[in-house]
Structure 1
Amino acid sequence: MENTETQIRADSSAEPMAKRRGKRIGIADVIIHSILMLMTLFMIFPFYNVVLMSFSNTVAISKQAVYLIPTVLDLSAYDYIFHDSRFWNAFYVTLFVTSVGTLVNMFATVTGAYVLSKKGYPGRNIIMSGILFTIFFSGGLIPLYLAMKDIHLINKLLVMVLPVAINTFYLIICIAFFRTLPAALEESAKIDGANDIQILYKVILPIAKPMVATIALFYAVDRWNEWWYGVLFMTDTKFLPLQALLREILTNFSMLQTNINASAVLTKGMHPEMLKMAILVVSTLPIACLYPFLQKYFTKGVMIGSIKG
């Protein structure tokens, strides 16, 4: 009998909760969701338009029929890109700069941030002041070029890696994160006989995976989009990165009239916009594929510090 009464009370108390859960969405919720969906469409549409134009043809682009609904499927622009030796050469250069550059960035940033996060490190304040000084002031373009020339990095791929080995803003983020970690972790590892290098790579980094993955993605995007140092320090066109080649095509279409490959572009009937959009798609797609694999670390990064132990 008592069990029956308890069950009735539980059912009666669950009914209001079920009603609250089944409450209809209010007008404010509808308005907020509508605004967010509209903003999402505004952000997605430019990419959607780029993809459509890259698969379109001259007639469709001239009629502006590709902006909303695809009417044709023309792969001539992609065929031209993938058979252009300049594109593949620039792609391999960018791939090297992205892979090697990201490794150098992460090694220099993580190790430097770990050392500078220690309050007892001698000369730490002076070093931090020097690092913060670089945020507001730089040596200038001419001294930078002369420095790269003196160390023989002109027309070397490392010129797009070493001068940007550390991003000051990312370094400060890493320092702030390492300071939030409890000192007991390092103390217990030292008691077990671990040195500083072992503590960093076996204790700290496994805990810091969300931060490391996020900073690594930021660095990878920066290196993939590298074009300024390529234009500045590369006199040999075979060392131009992909984004520099893309910039050359986007901003200087007049070169096609004097280029040996101009006849190939014109005889295939490709509209200049087709070629531009196809290069945009090809140059953006590889780095965009990294985001789904690292998104789980972004979610964990947001939750860091939100739950107290």
Structure 2
Amino acid sequence: MKTGLGERIFSGANYIVLTLLSLTMLLPIVHVAAISLSSKVSAEGGLVFLWPVDFNVSAWNYILGRTDLWQSFGVNVFVTIVGTVGGLILTCLMAYPLTKKAFVIRKIVLLGVIVTMIFKPPMIPYFLVLKSYGLYNSIFALIIPSFIDVFNLMLVVTFFRQLPYELEEAAIMDGAHAYQILLKVVMPLSKPVLATIGLFMAVTYWNIFYHAVLFITDKKLYPLQLKLREFITQSDSLIDMRSIGTLEYNTQTIESAAIIIATLPIILVYPFIQKHFVKGATLGAVKE
């Protein structure tokens, strides 16, 4: 079937617009990376745009040699892995019964869930409640409050509803109980939605900031975001002022290197789940 001139023009315009939008998102990252790999004179003089000027890795040597940064990196890795895996499990366990007519109060539960998405708790009562649970200055303050997100839950509920019930009936006839059906039948068929919300959860946990600011004062528990804020707000004090004239890096190149370290892991993960993410992101777009 031949494509009409109008469709070709429309497709070409789409490619151009999407390419330009992609560049607007990519250029800031490339710019920051270029600054981190430039000399301090070039960075201070505003000579760096998309390519390093007077290539220099001193800022990276300084950043990668800081044990406190690696400690914060480890906090992020732990929080992201535990939070994402735990969130996926709990979201599936909550979503599955909400798709069953046998669960007679499912509509009431869904209404209560949606209310929490619309009305956010006030900060002070929220802080006091979580503190009363012993989460103040605890790494689990960065994990537990974000286990279940309403948007992610509704995506999973929508996907589970689209699965053929005949598969579950066959599993029931083979003697499988509800947990076995969820684990061995439903979840293997739900890779697209699990990859989608898994990416959402991983990004949320990796960029954790709000709960860190509220509940974490122990610097040993600082995630990368708080450590990055410390670098940006206190970077002048991180450098020995007596030797600043002899150093090959400055606060700007240090900040840029720290930003790249904080953003790079999530960027590297995305290509591995892209095929599932694209399919999962269109859930509910077409209803049979």
Global fold match (TM > 0.5): yes
Aligned residue pair count: 285
Cα 1:218–1:62 shift into 2, 3 Å: same
Q: Is residue 62 of structure 2 the alignment partner of residue 80 of structure 1? A: yes
Q: Is residue 268 of structure 2 the alignment partner of residue 286 of structure 1? A: no
2:236 alignment counterpart: 256
Identity of aligned residues (%): 37
State the AA in 2 paired with 1:55. Answer: L
CA distance in 2 between counterparts of 1:265 and 1:232 reads 36
CA distance in 2 between counterparts of 1:172 and 1:34 reads 33
1:245 positional shift: 1.0
The farther-off stretch of 208-217 and 54-63 is 54-63
Q: Is residue 168 of structure 2 the alignment partner of residue 189 of structure 1? A: no
State the AA in 2 paired with 1:256. Answer: D
CA distance in 2 between counterparts of 1:173 and 1:119 reads 18
**TM-score relative to the length of structure 2:** 0.89
1:37 alignment counterpart: 19
CA distance in 2 between counterparts of 1:265 and 1:218 reads 44
For residue 139 of structure 1, the aligned residue among 118, 121, 140 is 121
**TM-score relative to the length of structure 1:** 0.84
The farther-off stretch of 112-121 and 58-67 is 58-67
Tell me the SS of whatever aligns to 2:187. Answer: helix
For residue 247 of structure 2, the aligned residue among 259, 262, 268 is 268
1:150 positional shift: 1.5
Cα 1:128–1:62 shift into 2, 3 Å: same
CA distance in 2 between counterparts of 1:127 and 1:52 reads 50
CA distance in 2 between counterparts of 1:47 and 1:95 reads 21
Contact 1:228 1:244 in 2 (8 A): no
For residue 220 of structure 1, the aligned residue among 177, 180, 202 is 202
State the AA in 2 paired with 1:191. Answer: M
CA distance in 2 between counterparts of 1:129 and 1:304 reads 21
Tell me the SS of whatever aligns to 1:273. Answer: helix
Cα 1:123–1:265 shift into 2, 3 Å: farther
CA distance in 2 between counterparts of 1:165 and 1:305 reads 23
For 1:1-309, list aligned pairs within 5 A: 31-250=13-232, 252-253=233-234, 256-257=236-237, 259=238, 261-263=239-241, 266=244, 267-301=246-280
CA distance in 2 between counterparts of 1:202 and 1:183 reads 14
CA distance in 2 between counterparts of 1:114 and 1:28 reads 41
How big is each residue's C-alpha offset from its partner over 1:66-90, in whole Å with a ceiling of 9 and x where there is no partner? 2034332211111111111210111
Contact 1:101 1:223 in 2 (8 A): yes
State the AA in 2 paired with 1:225. Answer: N
Cα 1:265–1:244 shift into 2, 3 Å: farther
Cα 1:223–1:31 shift into 2, 3 Å: closer
CA distance in 2 between counterparts of 1:88 and 1:275 reads 15
State the AA in 2 paired with 1:156. Answer: S
1:262 positional shift: 3.8
CA RMSD across the alignment: 2.6
CA distance in 2 between counterparts of 1:176 and 1:294 reads 20
Cα 1:181–1:32 shift into 2, 3 Å: closer
1:221 positional shift: 0.6
Q: Which runs of 5+ in 1 are unaligned?
A: 1-16
The structure number with the bigger radius of gyration is 1
Cα 1:215–1:273 shift into 2, 3 Å: same
Contact 2:42 2:53 in 1 (8 A): yes
1:303 positional shift: 7.7
CA distance in 1 between counterparts of 2:213 and 2:243 reads 25
